[in-house]
Amino acid sequence: MPKKRPADERAGGRASKIPSRRRKHLYLVLDDWERGYSIRKLDLSSDSDSDDVDEANGPDGRTGTELRLPPAVFRLEAPRAHSGLFAAFGTMIVATQLTPRGTIPMFDVRTRALTFGPRQEGQPNPCCTDFVQVGDNLYFIDDSCFMMLDPPPPPPKFAHPYIQIDWTWRGLPVPPFDDCPVSYAVHPDGRTIFFSTQGQTKKHTEVATFTFDTVCSQWTRHGAWRLPFRGRGYFDCELNAWVGLSGQPDNLGHLCTCEVVSADANTTDGHPPPTCKLSKEKLFCVDPAEKHIGATLVYIGGRSKFCLVQCIATDDRKGGVWEEVLPECLCYLYRVTTFSLKYDMNGDLRTVHHRLRSYRLPKIATEYCDHLEKPVAFWM
């Protein structure tokens, strides 16, 4: 009997010529180690954890099962309690706080390799720091400086094995504002970053939005308005808009979309405020037995697919009053919700296809509030 050929051979070898696309995962950075942090990888595919995950018809649905966090893929020894000092670009997760070696560790989630980059001049302010990825470069901005992390060039073909080509921080033109950005987004042109501020600037005292052209290395003022997000906004090609968590206190827990503003500023007063829309649903918890602590929105691509990582506190006592709950009686969870966005027939912004998972945080991960109020999550 003739032997069966492998499937790729039966297809004329075509399958072997098609490069396999690496499936992305959600990476959480947790402050759950007595000497530093751990990085954990979550599989958000539809068939993952299918026995333990409940499907919900809306954002108010809850999972009936608390899942265990997966084991750490990497542990980092570094000063704790600073979630704002982690960044990601490409396949790298970067910890910008100083380690005992005086360098910044960079963990490659694809190769599971660790490398070290140069430390920045001065210590970043964890309360006023934003990292923005544009192409293969990472940009760092706070209330005192603006820099870019330059990757090393490819090594020469016949380089000596002991010659090391390092990463470098490159200083950029100082921003035309003195306070920290409250929101930012990358333009779909792949070269322009929008930053919004609310407060004192070097020439203006009102709310304002500025752009930085990463090719020309030039700042431009775009008008006396701000992007409607709290933190980062993501460009979604299906909606042709930026998407983010609403930055208005009255709309806490709602998503908003913002039309993409032209990167060209050819008028004296800049561009008028962009048109924005608010989602009908509130994504944050509404159960009276739960309390919202913090949340992070992550864009996971596809057809307007997003992931919300929300930290909530629960009181399992029947009839418990939040004001009377002792800290040791609280249980903290990371609720991970994946969903899609679309405009309905009336043009209203809706969230659909929700899928929820809840992960109980270990007690050590709740010692500092920073990672609870600002969950660190990356889609890579």
Give 93's strand partners. Answer: 88, 107
Architecture of the domain whose range is 27-152+163-379: 6 Propeller (2.120)
Structure tokens at 146: 């603006």
CA distances to 147, 181, 203, 258, 337 from 359, rounded to whole Å, are: 36, 31, 47, 32, 11
Question: What is the spatial distance between Cα 133 and Cα 154, in angstroms, rounded to a whole number?
Answer: 20
Q: Please report the pLDDT score of residue 10 as a whole number.
A: 40
Question: What is the spatial distance between Cα 241 and Cα 256, in angstroms, rounded to a whole number?
Answer: 10
Pick the closest to residue 326 from 336, 316, 337 (CA basis): 316
Give pLDDT tens digits for 40-85. 999 988 544 433 333 343 444 444 468 999 999 999 888 787 766 8
Question: What is the spatial distance between Cα 183 and Cα 305, in angstroms, rounded to a whole number?
Answer: 21
- The structure's pTM equals 0.84
Question: What is the spatial distance between Cα 313 and Cα 291, in angstroms, rounded to a whole number?
Answer: 5
Pick the closest to residue 376 from 309, 291, 283 (CA basis): 309
Please state the φ and ψ torsions of residue 62, each to the nearest 5 degrees.
Answer: -125, 150
CA distances to 6, 17, 20, 92 from 13, rounded to whole Å, are: 9, 7, 14, 33
- Highest mean pLDDT among 37-41, 119-123, 132-136 belongs to 37-41
Give 186's strand partners. Answer: 193
Taking 90 as the threshold, does the pLDDT of residue 160 lie above it?
A: no
